[in-house]
């Protein structure tokens, strides 16, 4: 609800310079995707080999690079190196790829506008399938074992765990008292000064709670109330209940509020 939120709703041109380009949609297993995510951008993550033998189907194979295979945390299983890619055509739908640049949420003074690019049309779908070899079976069995492990385990305790201790004085209370002491007692300012502050406040909003006004003007509440009674009306009824507003003669809002709840004249608060 702050300013950056306004941006996504702005019409943005879609950059179509790549819209004619054909791209491949490749479905890969999660374990490969994890590796690729971790891999730095400057290394080869794998090789795509397309072998076309006459009279045979074209074979597409994916060889993961050693660098990627080595990227593993301790205890992680090896992943198979070679996968075959099954090629499908896109049917019954037209698929496209678009991208958008998310402006860095950093402190750019002029926030980058989000840009949209058309990246191309998906012409073929490839599905990456592992060869069912030993490595793969090991990987799978390990993942199954992990999945079957219960997430919560029973643990025996030898002594009482005390997770709550009573506190005589909470920290924020102490802080607050200290701060109050430092401020000292609220002194009664000159009435004109207070009035000026009040008018300034009422310029921004029409209705104020007395507590807010007290915070704004930093006046003792009794004194503030005296002044308020002079220039303000107190609302007793529900829209804007318990709020102060300026008497009509002091008001000069640009657009008058059409239906002003007539404030009671005898709004003398028991003070």
Partner 1 sequence: MNNPPGGSSSQDAAVQEFTIRVPKNVKKKHHVMRFNATLKVDFAKWTHVKMERENNIKEFKGIEEEMPKYGAGSEYGRDLREEARRKKFGITSRKYKPEDQPWILKIGGKKFKGIREGGVSENAAYYVFTHGVGNTIEAFPLLEWYNFQPIQRYKALSAEEAEQEFGRRNKVINYFSLMFRKRMRGEEGGDDADDPDEKKPKGAKAKKELKISEMDEWMASEDDSDDDSEEGEKDNDSDSAALTKKKRKVDDEAFEESDDGDEEGRERDYISDSSESESDHESKANKELKGVAEEDGLRKILTSEEESEEEQEQKQESEQEDEPTKEGEERASKLTKKAKKKGDEGKKESSSDFSSDSDTDPETSAPKKTKKTKTSEKNPPAANSSAPGSASTSRAGTPQPGAAAGAGGAAAAAVAAANAASAHAPSKRVKLDAAYTECGVTEEAVRRYLARKPMTTTELLTKFKSKRTGVSSDRLVETMTQILKRINPLKQNINGKMYLSINHT
Taking CB under 8 A as the criterion, the residue among 86, 88, 96, 173 binding partner 1 is 96
Tell which phi-psi region holds residue 184, choosing left (phi > 0), alpha (psi between -120 and 50) or beta.
Answer: left
CA–CA distance, 46 with 36 (Å, rounded to integer): 9
- Residue 235's closest CA among 201, 204, 195, 207? 207
Query: Would you count residue 146 as binding partner 1 (CB under 8 A)?
Result: no
Residue 116 contacts partner 1 per CB under 8 A: yes
Q: Which of residues 42-71 bind partner 1 (CB under 8 A)?
A: 42-54, 60, 62
C-alpha 243/C-alpha 233 separation (Å) is 8
Cα separation, 61 vs 117, in Å, equals 30
Using CB under 8 A as the binding rule, the residues of this chain from 157 to 196 that contact partner 1 are none
Q: Per rule CB under 8 A, is residue 150 in the interface with partner 1?
A: no
Among 80, 136, 208, 217, binds partner 1 (CB under 8 A): 208
- Whose Cβ is closer to partner 1: residue 137's or residue 253's? 253
Confirm or reject binding of residue 205 to partner 1 (CB under 8 A): yes
Closest CB to partner 1 among 153 and 245?
Answer: 245
We find the least distance from the C-beta atom of residue 111 to partner 1, in angstroms, to be 13
209 near partner 1, rule: CB under 8 A = yes
- Counting other chains too, the contacts that 219-226 makes at CB distance below 8 Å and 24 or more residues apart are 219/186, 219/188, 219/189, 219/194, 220/185, 220/186, 220/188, 222/271, 223/188, 223/194, 224/194, 225/269, 225/271
Contacts of 15 (CB under 8 A, 6+ apart): 115, 116, 117, 118
Question: 92 or 145: whose CB is closer to partner 1?
Answer: 92
Q: How far is the CB of 162 from partner 1 (least distance, A)?
A: 28
**Span of 152-160, 165-173, 190-198, 207-215 interacting with partner 1 by CB under 8 A:** 207-215
Asked whether position 200 contacts partner 1 by CB under 8 A, the answer is: no
Site for partner 1 in 229-248 (CB under 8 A): 240, 243
For residue 214, state whether it binds partner 1 (rule: CB under 8 A).
no
Residue 16 sits at the vertex; the CA angle it makes with 11 and 22, to the nearest 5 degrees, is 135
The CA distance from 248 to 243, in Å, is: 15
């Amino acid at each position: 609800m702050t300013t950056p939120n306004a941006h996504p709703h702005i019409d943005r041109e879609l950059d179509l310079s790549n819209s004619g380009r054909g791209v491949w949609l490749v479905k890969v297993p999660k374990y490969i995707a994890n590796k690729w995510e971790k891999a730095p951008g400057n290394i080869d993550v794998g090789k795509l080999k397309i072998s076309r033998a006459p009279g045979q189907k074209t074979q597409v194979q994916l060889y993961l690079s050693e660098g990627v295979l080595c990227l593993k945390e301790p205890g992680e299983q090896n992943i198979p190196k070679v996968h075959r890619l099954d090629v499908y055509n896109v049917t019954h739908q037209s698929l496209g790829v678009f991208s958008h640049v998310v402006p860095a949420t950093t402190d750019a003074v002029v926030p980058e506008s989000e840009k949209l690019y058309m990246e191309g049309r998906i012409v073929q779908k490839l599905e990456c399938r592992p060869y069912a070899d030993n490595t793969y079976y090991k990987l799978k069995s390990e993942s199954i074992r992990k999945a079957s492990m219960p997430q919560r385990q029973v643990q025996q305790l030898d002594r009482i765990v005390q997770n709550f201790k009573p506190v005589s004085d909470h920290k924020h209370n102490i802080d607050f008292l200290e701060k109050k002491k430092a401020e000292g007692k609220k002194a009664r300012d000159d009435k004109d000064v207070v009035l000026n502050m009040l008018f300034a406040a009422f310029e921004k909003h029409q209705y104020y709670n007395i507590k807010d006004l007290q915070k704004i003007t930093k006046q003792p509440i009794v004194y503030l109330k005296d002044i308020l009674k002079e220039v303000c009306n107190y609302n007793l009824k529900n829209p804007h209940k318990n709020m102060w507003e300026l008497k009509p003669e002091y008001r000069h809002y640009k657009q008058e509020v059409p239906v002003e709840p007539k404030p009671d004249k005898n709004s003398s608060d028991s003070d």
